[in-house]
Structure 1
C-alpha cells in the first residue's frame, strides 16, 4: 500500500501530466481531487498527443482505475466530450472512470457568470479560462451548489435549478431571458444524465476500499501551489486548493494515510493570466523561452508569461506541500542560455525578503535579487544518465536543490516518458 501526491509547485503548467503518466503504470488508482476543466495536462502515449482537462492522466494506463473526486467541479458536457475524445482514440474508459456523487456540477449559467465577471473586471481581471470554475466553487461555498447526486435526481435538480436562476437573474439578463438560459441548461440534460449515471459512485468510500485492499493510489493535482486559493498570489488564483493538503478534502483520504509528496517544477518559471510574477522576462529572452518551450496554454492556447527560476516562491511551495521529492522539467529549454539566473530573494523598497510575501502590494513591487550561474551548451535531449549532462547543467540542478530544500528524484528532458533521467534510487515510486 502506498499513496503519492503529484503537485505543481509554481503557477501551474509545470509538466504534471507527463510525470503522472510516467509513474501511473505503478498505480492501481489515479485520483483528481480539485479544479475542473480549466486544467490541461499534456501527455504523449503510443506516439499520440493527448490533452486531458478533467479525466485523470492515469486513464491512458490500461488497467488503472480513475476517480474524479468530490473536490472537483464537473461540467457534464465537458466530461462527455472528453470521454468521446478518448474512446475515438481507442482508449477504454467505461468501467475504469468513476465520478464522486459529492462533486459539484458546472452548468451553463456558471460559464456565463464567469465571462461576466472577467468582462466587468477590466484591468483587474483574473485571467480565468471562462469555463465557470469560479462561479461553481462560489455556489458550493455559498451553499447554493448542485452536486452530482442532486443532478441525477430530477425531483431534486429542477427546484434547485429554478432557485439559482431566480437568484442570479439580474446578472444573467445580458445573456438572454431566464427561459432561454433554462433551455441552455436543460437541452442536453436527459442525455448527460444517462451518460453520468453509470460513472457515479461514493468517492470517499471507493478510496477507503482501495486503501483497505492495499492498493497504490496516485493523487493528481491541477494548477499549482502559487495559484492555490489560500497560499497563492491572491486574488490572482484558482478557486480551489491544489496543494497536497487539498487531497484529503477533495478525495476523502484520511490525513494519516498520505505517504509521499512529489513536487513538479520547471527549470524556469511560467504563468498564464494576470497577477504578480517577480522574475518575468518581458524581453527577447522571455520570448525565446516561450518559443523553445512551446509555452502556450493547453486549455486556452494563451501565450504563457516566462521568466527566471524563482527559488523564493518554490521554496515556500515545497514547505507548504511537505515535498520529500521534486521532479525537474524542461531543463532542455535552457540550452544555450548564458548566464542562468535564479531569484534567491526579493527587494521591496529598502527591505530584502527571503520569504514570499502575502501583501499584494509587496508582491507587485517585489524586485528579484538574482544569483548568476554559467549556462550550458549542446543538446541534452535524449540523455539517459545524470552524468551525461554538461557540468554546468548539473551544477544548476544541485544549486536549485540547495535553494528550495528538497532533492530531485527525476529530470524530464522532453514530453515522452522515455525522455527522463532518474536521479534518486530511494524514491519509492521509481519508474
Structure 2
C-alpha cells in the first residue's frame, strides 16, 4: 500500500514530519508515503497572518482553524507560493523564500504592528525538514496514473466537506480549496473519466464548526445531547461543533455536485436514544420555500427549516454487524435519506471501531 499526498494539498512540514516520526517510533513503516513535488507549503508567516486577520475581523470571524491554509492557498492563487519542489534546490529555496519573507514581514510590521520573522532561522529549519522528507518527494501524479494503468485500486480522499468548497460551499464560511470529487481528481492528477465510484460520507445528523448559517441547527437539549454522544469537538481547535438534524437540502446538493454513487452514513448510533428524528427537507424564507442552498447566505440567516420527523428506534445499534440487525425504524431512516439523496446507503457506522462499519454488500 502506498499513501500519496497529492498536488492539491498545502503542507505544514513541521507537523507532517512530527507525525511521520511518531509513526516510526511506534514501529510503523512509513516507506510507502509519497509526497507530491507540486504541493504547496504552509509556512510560519501564513499561520501568523491567519491568526492576525481573524483577530482583525473580531465580531465577523470566518471561523478558520488558524493553521495558515487560507493564506497559503492565497499565495498559490497569486502564483508566488513555495512548493515542495523548491525544497530540493537550496539556492532556489533561498531566493524565493527571501522574497516572500521580505514581503510578509512588511505586511506583518506595517499593517499589524507584529514583529518580523527571522529569514535565516526559517531557511535553516526548512533545510533540516527537507532532509527527512527528501526520499518521499516525487511526481505523484505519475505514480497514480501508472497504478491505474496496471489495474490497481486507487482511493482518493478529500479533507473537510463539500459545503466548505470555495465555489459551491457556504461562502465566505468555507475552506480555500475544493473538497469535492472534482477537486480530488485535480489534486491527485486523475481524469474524471477514470473514476469508477464516488462514496459520499455523511453523518447521520448535521454539524458545523465556526460561523455561517445552519437552518437545521438544534440549540436546545437535543443538540447538546447529540454533541455529547457524538463527541463533537473540533480536532484542531477544540471548539464545540454546532449540531442539527440531517439537512437533506445541503446533502442533496452535495450528492449532485459530486456525482455520488454510494453513501456512507456514520454515527448512526448517536441517534439511538432519541424518541423522534428530524430531517430538514427544505428552507422557508419569508413566504417562500426553497430546496437548494442559495449563494447569498444572508437569505439563509433568517430561514427556518421544513422538517419531517420519523420515529426513533430507541435501541442500541453498536452491536449490529449487518443491515438486517438494524432496528426497523433505523432502516426506515436510511431509506428516507436514500430517497432525498438519490443514492443507496452502502455503509453505516455504528461506533468508532473498524468492525462497527457495516457494509451492505459484505458476504
Partner of 1:126: 62
Q: How does 1:333-344 map to 2 (within 5 A)?
A: 333-344=270-281
Partner of 1:308: 245
Checking the alignment, whether the CA contact within 8 Å between 1:311 and 1:404 is kept in structure 2 is: yes
Query: Which residue of the other structure, out of 179, 182, 195, is the alignment partner of 1:258?
Result: 195
Task: Tell me, yes or no, if structure 1 residue 248 matches structure 2 residue 185.
Answer: yes
Summarize the Cα distance change of 1:92–1:175 in structure 2 as closer, same or farther, 3 Å threshold.
Answer: farther
Q: Deviations over 1:37-83 (max 9, x none)?
A: xxxxxxxxxxxxxxxxxxxxxxxxxxx10110000001111110110
Deviation at 1:365, TM superposition (A): 2.3
Distance 1:222 1:184 in 2: 31
Q: How does 1:368-387 map to 2 (within 5 A)?
A: 368-387=305-324
Partner of 2:76: 140
- TM-score when scaled to structure 2? 0.96
Checking the alignment, whether the CA contact within 8 Å between 1:175 and 1:181 is kept in structure 2 is: no
Distance 1:385 1:208 in 2: 35
Structure 1 vs Structure 2 CA RMSD: 1.5
Task: Tell me, yes or no, if structure 1 residue 195 matches structure 2 residue 132.
Answer: yes
Checking the alignment, whether the CA contact within 8 Å between 2:282 and 2:305 is kept in structure 1 is: yes
Distance 1:145 1:353 in 2: 41
Query: Which residue of the other structure, out of 58, 75, 87, is the alignment partner of 1:151?
Result: 87
Deviation at 1:239, TM superposition (A): 0.6
Deviation at 1:177, TM superposition (A): 4.2
Partner of 1:105: 41
Partner of 2:101: 165
Distance 1:194 1:175 in 2: 34
Q: Deviations over 1:152-211 (max 9, x none)?
A: 211111121121122223321257543x43245234222111112111001211111111
Partner of 1:419: 356
Distance 1:181 1:120 in 2: 24
Q: Deviations over 1:345-370 (max 9, x none)?
A: 00011110012211121122221100
Structure 1 unaligned regions, length at least 5: 1-63
Checking the alignment, whether the CA contact within 8 Å between 1:112 and 1:175 is kept in structure 2 is: no
- Runs of 4+ in structure 1 over 4 Å off: 174-177
Structure whose CA Rg is larger: 2
- TM-score when scaled to structure 1? 0.81
Per the alignment, in what secondary structure is the counterpart of residue 201 of structure 2?
strand
Task: Tell me, yes or no, if structure 1 residue 349 matches structure 2 residue 278.
Answer: no
Q: How does 1:308-327 map to 2 (within 5 A)?
A: 308-327=245-264
Checking the alignment, whether the CA contact within 8 Å between 2:94 and 2:123 is kept in structure 1 is: no
Q: How does 1:201-220 map to 2 (within 5 A)?
A: 201-220=138-157
Q: How does 1:24-103 map to 2 (within 5 A)?
A: 64-93=1-30, 95-103=31-39
Distance 2:319 2:27 in 1: 28
Query: Which residue of the other structure, out of 187, 195, 209, is the alignment partner of 1:272?
Result: 209
Per the alignment, in what secondary structure is the counterpart of residue 277 of structure 1?
coil
Checking the alignment, whether the CA contact within 8 Å between 1:332 and 1:381 is kept in structure 2 is: yes
Checking the alignment, whether the CA contact within 8 Å between 1:108 and 1:184 is kept in structure 2 is: no
Deviation at 1:89, TM superposition (A): 2.1
Distance 1:120 1:176 in 2: 13
Count of aligned positions: 361
Structure 2 unaligned regions, length at least 5: none
Partner of 2:236: 299
Distance 1:123 1:347 in 2: 27
Checking the alignment, whether the CA contact within 8 Å between 1:108 and 1:181 is kept in structure 2 is: no
